[in-house]
Amino acid sequence: MNLTLHVWRQAGPDAPGKLEQYEAKNVSPDQSFLEMLDEVNEQLIKAGKDPIAFDHDCREGICGMCSQVINGVPHGGQERTTVCQLHMRRFSDGDTIYIEPWRALAFPIQKDLIVDRGALEKIMQAGGYTSCHTGGVADGNALLVPKPDADYAMDAAECIGCGACVAACPNGSAMLYTSAKVAQLAALPQGKAEAAERVCNMTEAMQAAGFGNCSNHYECQAACPKGINVKFIAKLNREYQKALFK
């Protein structure tokens, strides 16, 4: 099939950006979206032009590196799918596709479709851990974790940190991302000791990094490739309230 692409091109953080038009010809329906872009890039290189810069790595939907807003939706709008796992069979011959980078104040553009997601790191560093030392910990079975709690923690822990939730949110909020880690550790006995301190520190870091607040649009959940549930945002709020009244 043949497609028309409009791709955001921007040479650097301070350079002006604009949409450029490219034709993608003879696209196989079995190709992934990124493989389609690879071929467009091969054509650009052969023509002596600068290929489109985009982030990608594992191409298995787990590393969280890929990040493209496709036709206005982060990761392209197929339910629970990263861009690398989006396949061209979801498109039709003759389609026009718009490809843009993550759009959020806290994610400055570095080049074309690549943004700086370092702000997410700051949130993790503020408290997304248990302060256990290497070695000298108890036997794994010394801490009993009821299966429902372990499952709940695992549901939260599935977050891949891609930042689609931020890009989808009209407020550029990172609350789904932050809530996933807070909820995971708050649900487990080993995370409880620091729960109050953790939620306060991570929330502050989130605000300091320039992310907006949650106003219940639920776009984050819709865009999340791992189906992280907004119930964790409720958990984050509850944990935060609890910590304030402590």
Partner 1 sequence: MILDGKCPKGPIQTSWDRHRFDLKLVNPANKRKYKILVVGTGLAGGAAAASLGELGYNVEAFCYQDSARRAHSIAAQGGINAAKNYPNDGDSIYRLFYDTIKGGDFRAREADVWRLAQVSNNIIDQCVAQGVPFARDYAGYLDNRSFGGAQVSRTFYARGQTGQQLLLGAYSALSRQVKAGTVKLFARTEMLDLVVVDGEAKGITVRDLITGEIRTHVGDAVVLATGGYVNVFYLSTNAMGCSVTANWRAHKKGAFFANPCYTQIHPTCIPQSGDHQSKLTLMSESLRNDGRCWAPKKKGDNRHPNEIPEDERDYYLERKYPSFGNLAPRDIASRAAKEQCDDGRGVGPGGRGVNLDFSDAIKRVGEDTIRERYGNLFEMYEKITDENAYKQPMRMYPAPHYSMGGLWVDYNCESNIPGLFVLGEANFSVHGANRLGASALMQGLADGYFVIPYTIANYLAKTKPGAVKADHPECKKSIEDVKNYNNRLLNINGKKTVSEFHRELGKIMWENVGMARSEESLKDAIKKIPVLREEFWKNVKVTGKGEELNQQLENAGRVADFLEFGELMAKDALHRNESCGGHFRVEHQMPDGEAKRDDENYCYVGAWEFKGVDKEPELHKEPLAFENVHLAVRSYK
- Residues 159-188 within binding reach of partner 1 (CB under 8 A): 160-161, 184-185, 188
Whole-number Å distance between alpha carbons of 95 and 24: 10
Q: Is 75 in the site for partner 1 (CB under 8 A)?
A: no
Whole-number Å distance between alpha carbons of 132 and 205: 21
Please pick, from the candidates 19, 146, 193, 204, the single residue that binds partner 1 as defined by CB under 8 A: 146
Please pick, from the candidates 2, 4, 72, 80, the single residue that binds partner 1 as defined by CB under 8 A: 80
- For 187-241, give the DSSP string: HSHHHHTTHHHHHHHHHHHHHHTT-B---S--HHHHH-TT---THHHHHHHHHHH
Q: Is 58 in the site for partner 1 (CB under 8 A)?
A: yes
- Tokens representing 129? 């851990």
12 or 72: CB nearest partner 1: 12
CB of 216 to partner 1, least distance (A): 27
- Spell out, one character per residue from 122 to 141, where the chain touches partner 1: x when CB under 8 A holds, - when not: --xxx-xxxxxxxx-xxxxx
Contacts to partner 1 from residues 211-240, by CB under 8 A: none
Contacts to partner 1 from residues 95-114, by CB under 8 A: 110-111, 114
Q: Which residue has the tokens 């023509």?
A: 47
Q: Is 147 in the site for partner 1 (CB under 8 A)?
A: yes
Q: Is 198 in the site for partner 1 (CB under 8 A)?
A: no
Cα distances (Å, whole numbers) of residue 197 to 129, 222, 243: 11, 30, 7
Q: Is 117 in the site for partner 1 (CB under 8 A)?
A: yes
- Tokens representing 32? 């992934």
Please pick, from the candidates 1, 73, 97, 157, the single residue that binds partner 1 as defined by CB under 8 A: 157
Q: Could you tell me how far CA 111 lies from the centroid of its own chain?
A: 18
Q: E strands along the chain, which residues?
A: 3-10, 17-24, 69-70, 73-74, 96-100, 109-111, 114-115
30 or 93: CB nearest partner 1: 30
